[in-house]
Chains A and B, each alone.
Chain A
Amino acid sequence: MGVEGIGARVVRKEDRRFITGQGRYVDDVKMVGMSYAHFIRSPHAHAKVKGINSTEAMKMPGVIAVLTGQQIVDDKVGNLICGWAITSKDGSPMKMGAWPAMAPETVRFVGQAVAVVIAETKNQAKDAAEAVVVDYEELPAAADIKAAIKPGAPQLHPEAPGNIVYDWHLGDEAAVKDAFSKAANVVTLDLTNNRLVPNAMEPRAAVAHYDQAEEHYTLYTTSQNPHVARLVLSAFYNIAPEHKLRVIAPDVGGGFGSKIYIYPEEMVALWASKKVGRPVKWTGDRSEAFLTDAHGRDHVSKAEMAFDKDNKILGLRVKTHANFGAYMSLFSSAVPTYLYATLLSGQYVIPAIYAEVIGVYTNTTPVDAYRGAGRPEASYLIERMMETAARQLKVDPAELRKKNFITTFPYQTPVIMAYDIGDFHASIDAAMKAIDYAGFPARKAKAKADGKLRGIGVSCYIEACGIAPSKAVGSLGAGVGLWESAEIRVNPVGTIEVLTGSHSHGQGHETTFCQIIAERLGVPISQVSIVHGDTDKVQFGMGTYGSRSLAVGGTAIVKAMEKVEAKAKKIAAHALEASESDIVIENGEFKVTGTDKSIALPMVALAAYTAHNLPDGMEPGLKETAFYDPTNFTFPAGAYICELEVDPGTGKTSFVNFVAADDFGRLINPMIVEGQVHGGLAQGIGQALLEGAVYDDTGQLVTASFMDYTMPRADDLPSFQLSHTTTLCPGNPLGVKGCGEAGAIGASAAVINAITDAIGNNKLEMPATPDRVWHAIHG
């Protein structure tokens, strides 16, 4: 390992601009003649739009235009799409209603846009919006799954009778039935996975510009995947052909999945920029973020697990209702199916699994992938089930897990996934040692003497990351491939630019990716730049989500580097009059092995571009591209153990300790990995204790601000004890698995298992607020 190579705790290059306030975000973009958009949003969860009167608004100062949903339909702008086709168990395709960017006829959730005001200033646009009169005819709303599926429920879309999008299944129903018939014990569990609001620090924003002379659009947007945005805007929304549309996602302040999607506002900004002949800026505020950013989770599940007399698992049966909100967002359909049910085997040998998933429309904000996306829901279900089972079977929860761990790899689960490698015993053993699991009963007794209820909870998660092999996801209904691209440009002076299709919005790519280059060439990372986030600069790429950037995007960089190095070696060998096979790369030099002959990288690069003395037939230049399609998912896994105390007087939970033993394969920058784990754990703990989107019966979002939606703060969290056990991923040359989502996937169950252990009552839903915990203790 070099000082800046793989495994080095290099300080993040990008932090200089972030912590000195010099990041450049979408709202920092200013254009000559720029106008401002303000959306008029439905105050009702379900209503007919009978009319929109903008006569008075158009007379107000600074108003340029008031544009409505009907106009966007008239201009033949396409509806929003869902990019993953799911087939119901009866063979029918999923049933979707149309999602126009602004509602021309019917609004189906509070906050859905019906019109937009474009004005000279933001305040003028807001003033005028108040003067637009929208005539709504209120309709009854279905605000949650239960309300949406009951007989006589209000219907959202005529295309989806009973508000059912699909009724899908996975696994072998007969084998599971057989397993349960042989069971010595059956454990059942009903649970809810609470709805979350992503709340990236930077709200969504867009600046759109139409160049009339060139018939060309530019869109600055808060996106995790600018190329995918361009593709969708072009191919499905008919905004412009791809070569006439440039999408730039500059510095982006967090995404967590919520910025994967191409939302109505960004699309309307583009359309409006041509309509009014002016650049249009829209910057969402926090209230708009609460109401319109795709929410996460929201499952209601029933699970049953069958055990034999030796406490070995025989089978698992799961029935889940997933809330999609009012419309099917871009990847929403895949989240509770192929990202959820395929992980229901957890870390365990479960011979038979059968999962049914019913997707449901409700009059709420659309739901889509949010940090973990399906995998937290699966992990929470399995790990609460294992804890519940251990208590019912009267065995130690860690021992029950160990007894059922998968220990041989590769391992084919009954639910599609084939785990390539792992060592689950190593993770749990490391976590148990770190927290002194054996000493817990004594600590619990001491806490009891002090009037506190102490509990310990284990969670052993596994996730499928490195998303994803294109052929595999294509066969399951995905509308896109999930490969990644990289281009390496070695400049004539030997500096290096890496153009990646991955997008960094907090992940530290500008450092980690440089370390890969530093490791291979022995050059300092200051000599390397990462270029991303601009469709005019970077070749097509698929973007960042699903813990894929390093395993897929990083591997594309390695593949491109291999081509660069092969050519550079030829040039070096030619210059040094040596055999190509004798050339080795060390400390930024190409050396003839076993001699003192060498040529530095800048000289090789210069030779490539002067082309005065290249091997016969060689093209000038030193620039290579690679597209890498993974052969499998990667499978990060680990064990989290949480020890906490509950105050019986108030129901308040206080952490004593939280240990994490993760297996992410090889770590490129352990400091960045730790940061990712800390953030993920904060979100997982946030889901367990603090966060929950609450709608009232009429579909109003009660938790529509930070006054009522509890975002985790530093003092809500313990100081984490992290450690790593390592099995190298065999599927990619870096041996990496991905670390971005692990904390959010594994933490929730550890916390709830610890609280239910402390209070001796398993009936507890997330978020386990003091009020809920107190009631669970006192009835």
Chain B
Amino acid sequence: MYETNYHRASSIDDAVAQFAKGTDSKFLSGGQTLLPVMKQRLAAPSDVIDVAKIKDMIGIEVSGDTVTIKAATTHYDVAQSDAVQKAIPALANLASMIGDPAVRHRGTIGGSLANNDPAADYPAAVLALGAVVKTNKRSIPAEDFFKGLFSTALEDGEMITAVSFPVPAKAGYAKFPNPASRFALTGVFVAKTKSGDVRVAATGASQSGVMRVAPIEQALKANWAASALDSVTIPASGLLADIHGSADYRANLVKVMGQRAVTAAG
């Protein structure tokens, strides 16, 4: 690891101020991606601003039909939360499947979304549920937040503070883990909104990162049942291909995981 300056921020304002002082600052939340990358000398931030202990960044609130998860809330806390399990059980279930226990006790929702790994789980839920990503500057709809592999709408010095999820009528997540990394080789989140709309997002599959899956959305709008996807074909073009899964295999997984997500959603 290259030498860096570590700061533990006391508040959101403090974090933003500290960030601005460094020549090449990085926010650090759970550190589940940033720290390994730094250890391998693949990143060399001048300053690391640790936001994981900021009180206003931790916790889960349910208000009416909205679940708000603050950015530094760990995957473990989301998975264990009674409120999340009751309001959006699929989201708690998704959090319970991220990484391993050590990752879940450190990794946070804000860190995951800011990193936008194309195989991360949370982006699928955020996009399928139509969540809103809140930052120290603004609110960004999910639709506008994800900008491709490891790329988001966040500007320099902008920090995620919370994510607000509308409570759906039904939702389910099914993940096929990469055998080595246990990231999503393909994960599909299906949601039926309270207004009857259907939104489906897949992670791990596309060369452009998390994506909506129109053919599945159309089929489920007509008939919310796993069997409705039997005749759906997912095109392999534009999908990722690597030693763990060819593009046509991933295309199949989008469909099969979609079916299993619908079954899980009930």
Taking Cβ atoms with an 8 Å cutoff, the residues of A that contact B are: 123, 126-127, 287, 649-652, 690, 694, 702-703, 706-711, 716, 769-771, 774-775, 778
Contact = CB atoms under 8 A, between A and B. Distances in A.
A774 B249 contact: yes
Contacts of B243: 694, 702-703, 708
A371 B234 CA distance: 43
A66 to B, nearest CB: 19
Interface string B30-60: 0000000000110000000000000000000
Given A126-B41, A774-B249, A775-B249, A709 B179 contact: no
A120 to B, nearest CB: 15
Nearest to A689: B179
Interface in B32-91: 40-41
Given A702-B243, A769-B244, A771-B245, A690 B256 contact: no
Given A649-B256, A650-B253, A650-B256, A707 B181 contact: yes
A706 B179 contact: no
Nearest to B100: A713
A690 B181 CA distance: 12
B180 A709 contact: yes
B252 interface: yes
22 contacts: A127-B2, A287-B40, A649-B252, A649-B259, A650-B176, A650-B256, A690-B179, A703-B180, A707-B181, A708-B180, A708-B244, A709-B180, A710-B179, A711-B180, A716-B179, A769-B244, A770-B245, A770-B249, A771-B246, A771-B249, A775-B246, A778-B252
Contacts of B245: 770-771
A755 to B, nearest CB: 15
Given A707-B181, A708-B181, A771 B244 contact: yes
A775 B181 CA distance: 21
A770 B180 contact: no
Contacts of A775: 246, 249
A362 B176 CA distance: 35
B179 A769 contact: yes
A694 B180 CA distance: 13
A774 B244 CA distance: 12
A714 to B, nearest CB: 11
A700 to B, nearest CB: 12
Nearest to B181: A707
Contacts of A711: 180
Contacts of A778: 252
Nearest to A707: B181
Contact of B180 (A123, A649, A707, A771): A707
A702 B244 CA distance: 11
A774 B246 CA distance: 11
Given A707-B180, A708-B181, 18 more contacts: A650-B176, A650-B252, A650-B256, A651-B249, A652-B176, A690-B179, A690-B180, A694-B243, A703-B180, A703-B243, A706-B181, A708-B180, A710-B180, A711-B180, A771-B244, A771-B246, A774-B252, A775-B249
Contacts of B180: 690, 703, 706-711
Contacts of B40: 287
Nearest to B253: A650
Interface string B121-160: 0000000000000000000000000000000000000000
Nearest to A706: B180
Nearest to B179: A710
Contact of A770 (B2, B179, B259): B179
Interface on chain A toward B: helix, strand, loop, or mixed SS?
loop
Contacts of B246: 771, 775
B262 to A, nearest CB: 13
Contacts of B181: 706-708
Interface residues of B, number: 18
A442 to B, nearest CB: 27
B246 to A, nearest CB: 6
Contacts of B259: 649
A702 B180 CA distance: 13
Contacts of B244: 708, 769, 771
Interface in B224-266: 243-246, 249, 252-253, 256, 259
Nearest to B252: A774
A690 B249 CA distance: 17
A651 B252 CA distance: 11
Nearest to A127: B2
Contacts of B249: 651, 770-771, 774-775
A709 B180 CA distance: 6
Nearest to B241: A771
A769 to B, nearest CB: 6
Nearest to B248: A775
Contacts of A694: 243
A544 B199 CA distance: 59
A579 B246 CA distance: 80
A778 to B, nearest CB: 8
A123 B41 CA distance: 11
B51 to A, nearest CB: 26
B3 to A, nearest CB: 8
Contacts of A709: 180
Interface string B1-39: 111000000000000000000000000000000000000
Contacts of A652: 176
Contacts of A774: 249, 252
A210 B176 CA distance: 54
A694 B181 CA distance: 16
A706 B100 CA distance: 14
A702 to B, nearest CB: 6
Interface in B187-207: none
A395 to B, nearest CB: 35
A717 to B, nearest CB: 13
A220 to B, nearest CB: 25
Contacts of A690: 179-180
Contacts of B1: 123
A504 B41 CA distance: 35
A552 B249 CA distance: 50
A703 B3 CA distance: 28
Contacts of A287: 40
A287 B244 CA distance: 20
B2 to A, nearest CB: 8
A710 B183 CA distance: 12
Contacts of A649: 252, 256, 259
Contacts of A710: 179-180
Contacts of A651: 249
A702 B241 CA distance: 13
A718 to B, nearest CB: 16
A707 B99 CA distance: 12
Closest 3 CB pairs of A and B: A710-B180, A649-B256, A710-B179
A289 B163 CA distance: 41
B261 to A, nearest CB: 13
B176 to A, nearest CB: 6
A282 to B, nearest CB: 18
A708 B183 CA distance: 11
Contacts of B253: 650
A130 to B, nearest CB: 8
B118 to A, nearest CB: 13
A9 to B, nearest CB: 31
Nearest to B3: A123
Contacts of B3: 123
A499 to B, nearest CB: 41
B242 to A, nearest CB: 8
B176 A770 contact: yes
A5 B111 CA distance: 56
A770 B253 CA distance: 11
A702 B242 CA distance: 10
Contacts of B176: 650, 652, 770
A710 B40 CA distance: 20
B185 to A, nearest CB: 8
Nearest to A702: B243
Interface string B158-190: 000000000000000000100111000000000
| Most chain A CB within a 10 A radius of its CB, from B3, B41, B249, B256 | B249
